[in-house]
Chains A and B, each alone.
Chain A
Amino acid sequence: MSHNLKIACTKNNLKDIRDFVNSTLRKLCIPELEINMIVLAVDEICANRIIHSNNCDKEQHLEVKIRDENQGVSFEIVDEGEIFDHSDYVEPSLDQLVREKRKGGLGLMLVKRIMDSIEVKKENDYTVCRLFKKINVC
């Protein structure tokens, strides 16, 4: 089954995205701790897309699609912002972040730890980020 949310690219909408993911996953009998981690991963991708690829432009929209599959749950985050190739991303060390007093840099590290696969593609005029989490659903 598929669940969709389309929302304007503003940071204030991140809470609505989290609530949407949370309520959808609750219906799939996923444990609370796992739900929070998955919500976090989707939130991190959406925050990156909204802030860095769409410059918090409320005229732009972002769509979150959740699909429960045999082996787990898949997520598609779709927008018209510039593509960010995650495969080019070199993960900083925690020591480096502390030394440089950086506030950013942890988001993608979290997504990589939480999700089983991350794929980013340009499809026509859209950037599509696909996440997959292997997990038992009811």
Chain B
Amino acid sequence: MKLTSDKDSNYYVISIEGDVDASSCIMLDKAIAEAVSKGENKILIDCTHLNYISSAGLGVFMSYIQDFESNNISLVLFNLSAKVKNVFQILGLDELIKIVSSKEEAKALIG
């Protein structure tokens, strides 16, 4: 898995490439923690090249929900493939984690 982080005006974009599994999820966790430590409060996750996600990856996103709500931090995932989006839907996590189709929609949602 490869991760890249980038600023797009006042949005912090983390792009994921490859598979997020029990082996690689720690990298995603670190990337989100780094964004938070930098004081970023509008975090977009670009899933265009995310090929696969397991519960370990889902768990990373889940573990931030409470803190992000308390600290007014927005996190939105965009451009998921049908099979990756389906993994979020199996347990209904798509209702707890914001998921949209495009970067533009993600920006519009956060404002």
Contact = CB atoms under 8 A, between A and B. Distances in A.
Interface in A72-97: 94, 97
B83 to A, nearest CB: 4
Interface residues of A, number: 31
A64 interface: no
B86 A36 contact: yes
Interface residues of B, number: 28
A36 B83 CA distance: 7
Given A98-B96, A110-B90, A114-B90, A14 B62 contact: no
Interface in A96-111: 97-99, 101-107, 109-110
Contacts of A1: none
Interface string B57-97: 01110111111000000000000001100110011110010
A104 to B, nearest CB: 6
Contacts of B67: 101
Contacts of B29: 103
Given A36-B87, A94-B93, A110 B52 contact: no
Contact of B87 (A32, A40, A50, A101): A40
6 contacts: A37-B90, A94-B93, A94-B96, A104-B56, A107-B56, A110-B55
